[in-house]
Structure 1
């Protein structure tokens, strides 16, 4: 498949500006064929994704709705919408999928709605019959997130109100009015004991949920503004990743979540970062910027693993890694959604190192032979040495490619 054709299959335009996107919890194995129904090799399957967006009130002419589609890992193909659910005059702004269940919380203009994925016949989205009273009339929520074990839900409002609920009882764990002027982003720590929050301005705050109070406030360096936040996920390195804006540049800073000191920062975008994600296995970070570019990063050293220039025509509004950490979903206000399959560069990079080491040893050996021949008065053709080196390089290169 050509690069252009592959790009078109994993990227698709829908009929409305997209504000939010999420993977559902389940990945359904793809049958090998209709006769035996065996599961595909290498864990390939079909995952379901949910998009939300619209045009606001009806006068815009663009409907507000949620879309359900699927992504095939084996063919790297994103489908058209297989189901749509109208949200009337309220565009969906944010989505949070409960890990391991069919429940989805969706933020609209005045409150949050509880949705369910129903797979009794064809897969479809439905408004839950359960009334989630504590989420009614709380205003527009800029961010929603479940803890990793699904026992808590956090919401951050446009009015700066920060709430944490037990799930599914929805009993309040923490209720902080005025936590920020407007909450911009939130995230749970790996064990769910801490919550980090950022606002449109001012410091980032880290909250101890057992005490329902702030542990610390983190401020950016002079001339920079804090943006989006994610705790590390691998369980070995106590990090907190926070995006920053320095002028028009996009930066990621790494903070030690034991000492709460910033250990490093790195400029990764010439434009402001508008979306941020971390993979469930903790290996990758991803950023989307105001120009529609997408980058996948190594979480250990912030090195660029993959980048897609102009993945979208305008700013990236939301992004999220798949539950198996093998793909990145991103959406934009230009009505496009894209899935970027995560390639593994480790083998190729390893062979580059081996090739370099081999060449260095080979060069050292030949310089040694030339010197000995010269000392002995022998006649070793320089052209022969060059030809031999050329053949060796070609052989090693082809071996690396075949691997």
Structure 2
């Protein structure tokens, strides 16, 4: 069920057009989570909002707001947050804007930064940072693919005719590969460090490969794609070692508009064109959560998993942003794992004690009914040595 909604619009700001999570690592190792909204309208803005993990809610009052400009040319179309949580890139109709995030005790400062190679690239459909934060890729509406080394902005790949027009894009966990899909239904794998296309994913003539995401658990090197064949849409899995299909399953049962994967790789989220979405357990490839009409018939444009909780932010152009807590089994917390280890240790100690008490022991041999045991100090003395024999 939805546990949150579109926050009140800032002055001049409109509906939330795009959203993402910010994960910050504190000095003691704990993670703090924030939400970032991009609002369209007469005065487009970016907002950073606090997140309450206990209540699983987003504070409606922004911690910080920065204006993007005036009107539609500066309206936000997508947001990508650096994995370190200290920078974000916002795409507009004119290009991309880069912002530095400075977190203080109770406030956040959003500072515009110079990003010359990004500012005049035109409207971008896809933005993606690599998991290690060293690569940044953008895919344009005109089909232009650019991959940069971060933060130097050195160009690793610049392909003006990568696709007719971009539909979706993702970077593998090891930052080695990039997958991209096009409006014409094709999908390509790119070798990032070499800056060249590697392979086109195979498809039948009547199939269209649409959304794409790499696995994230570090154990299964898979690629997930949604494949449409007429009115039937399936989630197909490719093995990235040889780029061959290894299986497929029909999960949402309707046309899919967006696909996402959780940070730990345990769940997929699929959003539909009529406002529904589901969460899928990757290990079983079964639906674990289903939310209907979250966006009341409007296509879901993005779904982003919370980095620390089983919750997602979904967005649509008509209804803005919705925060939904997922009805899935709770994850084990660190203190729960330590508690289980302690319980196992105590159980082992109890079993050892019981075994010791019930087992035979050298020091507990029966001594006989009429012969009481005597201490070593009162044992019978040895017979005296005859006088004519001299001991050694």
Q: 1:303 to 1:142 in 2, by over 3 A?
A: same
The 5 A counterparts of 1:3-402 are 7=2, 9-12=3-6, 14-15=8-9, 16-26=14-24, 47-55=33-41, 62-82=42-62, 83-88=64-69, 89=71, 90-120=74-104, 122-128=106-112, 130-313=113-296, 314-324=298-308, 326-345=310-329
TM-score w.r.t. the length of structure 2 is 0.76
Aligned-partner SS, 1:251: strand
Partner of 1:368: none
Contact 2:35 2:58 in 1 (8 A): no
Give the whole-Å Cα distance in 2 for the aligned partners of 1:298 and 1:79: 29
Q: 1:19 to 1:253 in 2, by over 3 A?
A: farther
CA RMSD after TM alignment: 2.5
Which stretch has the larger CA shift, 117-126 or 266-275? 117-126
Contact 2:136 2:148 in 1 (8 A): yes
Give the whole-Å Cα distance in 1 for the aligned partners of 2:330 and 2:107: 37
Deviation at 1:222, TM superposition (A): 3.7
TM-score w.r.t. the length of structure 1 is 0.74
Q: 1:311 to 1:178 in 2, by over 3 A?
A: same
Partner of 2:373: none
Give the whole-Å Cα distance in 1 for the aligned partners of 2:87 and 2:205: 42
Contact 1:17 1:332 in 2 (8 A): no
Give the whole-Å Cα distance in 1 for the aligned partners of 2:292 and 2:8: 20
Give the whole-Å Cα distance in 1 for the aligned partners of 2:179 and 2:111: 30
Q: Runs (4+) of structure 1 moved beyond 4 Å?
A: none
Question: What do residues 287-341 of structure 1 show as CA deviations (whole Å, max 9, x unaligned)?
Answer: 1111111211012332001111111121111111122353222111123322223
Give the whole-Å Cα distance in 1 for the aligned partners of 2:194 and 2:308: 33
Question: What do residues 130-189 of structure 1 show as CA deviations (whole Å, max 9, x unaligned)?
Answer: 311111211111111111110111111111111111110000111111100111211111
Contact 2:78 2:127 in 1 (8 A): yes
Partner of 1:384: none
Give the whole-Å Cα distance in 1 for the aligned partners of 2:232 and 2:56: 32
Deviation at 1:86, TM superposition (A): 2.1
Aligned-partner SS, 2:117: helix
Q: Which has the higher helix share?
A: 1
